[in-house]
A and B are shown apart, each in its own frame.
Chain A
Amino acid sequence: MTTVVGAAQLQAIVSDEDVVRVRQLVRTAAVTAKLSLVDQTKVVTAASELARNTLVYGGGGQAEVSTVDNGARRGVRVVFSDDGPGIADVELALTDGYTSGGGLGLGLSGARRLVEEFELNTEVGTGTTIAITKWAR
């Protein structure tokens, strides 16, 4: 059972600066959850990719950063949500090298490799929600 420790932090993502703020929030939460340096780096990088996706493809949205506990380990959970156009072909979007916006196409697929849990919910025309969790080793 996963429980949230402390209060979740909300950060709107409407500009470049907000992507930096999300990175900083996730870093702080990762330190609190006692993630190793490499794991901190991985989760912050994943969050950076997804925050930028939220901004660029989702037309802005928000990130909710929290420290979680599953009884045995602590971790960081970040939920990104937007009311953007949604993703029509999820499988395609999760393929390495696929891009609809001129990037390297590593945002979604790369972020998924950097964390332990990755849930993606999307509906065309309604928006996208992506939740990631990284556990301390």
Chain B
Amino acid sequence: MDRVPILKIGPVLLVSIQVDMQDQVALQLQEDLGERIVATGAKGVIIDITGLDIVDSFVGRTLSTIASISRVLDAETIVVGMRPAVAITLVELGLSLNGIRTALNVERGMELLSRSTEPDSPDEFDLDLDDLSETTSP
């Protein structure tokens, strides 16, 4: 069975889904990601779905679950690169991907992550607390 590779770039894990996934592959990814977040102490996960030509309710649910699991493990998940046709179909299907943050592409996703992860300098603390409360309550 294929496995979706997980790359580590700095404090961020990058997952680029390129294949038409079997349900089992999606579940495996969900499991693998949890383990990698703990092993690497990553603060952010970017899932690039540019390569997916459809997202059905199963994949949608898996993405939501991944986001929830990451949150519990103190990592923020951002789904990037959703194609227009996929987005239109998801709206029609009635799937809203609650609790998932999205960005147009990997670059924007990185920006979003760097804004919401904890700051190194304490003087920025106030502002980032605000940002955090905004991002953790869907």
Contacts and interface: CB of A to CB of B under 8 A. Distances in A.
A–B direct touch, CB within 8 Å, in complex? yes
Contact of B89 (A16, A107, A114): A114
A73 interface: no
A49 B89 contact: no
Contacts of A103: 57-58, 61
Interface in A101-115: 103-104, 106-107, 109-111, 113-114
Contacts of B55: 45
A17 B23 CA distance: 8
Contact of B54 (A44, A52, A106): A44
A20 B56 CA distance: 12
Contact of B24 (A16, A42, A106, A111): A16
Contacts of A17: 22
B93 interface: yes
Contacts of A27: 53
A44 to B, nearest CB: 5
Contacts, number: 71
Contacts of B83: 41
Given A38-B89, A104-B61, A45 B54 contact: yes
Contact of A106 (B23, B53, B57): B57
B99 interface: no
A45 B22 contact: no
B39 interface: no
Interface in A71-100: 96
Interface of B: 20-24, 53-58, 60-61, 83-86, 88-89, 92-95
Interface of A: 16-17, 19-20, 23-24, 27, 37-38, 40-42, 44-45, 48-49, 52, 96, 103-104, 106-107, 109-111, 113-114
